[in-house]
Structure 1
Amino acid sequence: MIESYCIRIPELLNLFKEKHDHFSFALFGARGSFKTTHLYGLYEEMLDNNVDVVFGYEIEDICICDCLILDDFASKFYKREFSTTENKEFAKLLQEIRTNIPMVITSCPHYNLLDKDFRDFFNPAQILKPGYIKLDGKILLADPPSEDLENKMRALENTGRKHRFLDGLERIKDARAKKKAKK
């Protein structure tokens, strides 16, 4: 009986591709709940099924494909910064994505960290336990990624985090310098 409530990611994508429809969800869970690992597993399953899938960490990674996975985009489009031009333009872009990319998946520590406009775009998907994601009354099954893929993706992720950290540090230093210069 429970099997009727379970679905695999290629099946879910095909449901929407066949209808020329769109589906987006935000995988959320506490730090250490394996959000990114689940995304890697979904990514690898789609690769294994010859799905045109892109895994992105930055805005520059976004392109037209069948499935776009955006890791931790709440950190890039934080709800308290919605008035920025970048966030406003991304919200507009999400409206255009619907007709160009059948499925968009993102992750965030908590669904409420996303701005309301973004929350309206992404269905909540909660990690119930490793390999099981609650999504719209169904259970999305997610196998763990292979060790090779996970190591490769973690190396990319860590390089990006280091660059974003250093860029953020420079912005803080610049803001402090401007503040001191005004005094």
Structure 2
Amino acid sequence: MLRSNNSAMSFWGPILIAAVLIIPFYLLFIADNNSVEKTPVESEPGRAENYLDLTPLSPPVHETVKTNIDEEMTAPFEIKTDSGKYYLVKLADVGNNSKYFMIFVYGGQTIKVKVPLGNYIMKYCNGNNWYGYKELFGPEGSYNKSEDIFNFNISDGQINGITVTLYGVISGNLEIEAINREDF
């Protein structure tokens, strides 16, 4: 008479049933994850395709001037900045926006420079990371423009300059508006 070994069957039986049920689900899960189609995220119009590729650069030396104006620098221009960020200040000629005077300023510093006589719109940007004169402070930078025209002139034999304070001042009179980086 043959006797079956019920103890071995009672041990391996549930394991075999579990394996038969779990393995197909596992294979289905792996196949499904491998077939996921990854689509790129579309960027906003007018923005650089991928800011993740931007690498911060060493900022220009404090008081670095970049200009394409060939006129004599005679009018005083004083710039006061708040600490903690870098600033790029740009004077764009009102009559010819392609003519400009730019100066790089380290935050917390006050500088005095000479600029050409004329009428200008002041634009400035600031940020912690510098990406060069094309990308400026990137998407995390702050970009602004003065609403007033800065008039550097000679009146009654006196050369008239301007002082700007680029941080909040009680009773301050500099009206600014935010602009896009591309409009800088």
Give the TM-score of the pair, scaled to structure 1. Answer: 0.23
Q: Whose radius of gyration is greater, 1 or 2?
A: 2
Larger helix share, 1 or 2: 1
Q: Which has the higher contact order (CA 8 A, sep 6+)?
A: 1
Larger strand share, 1 or 2: 2
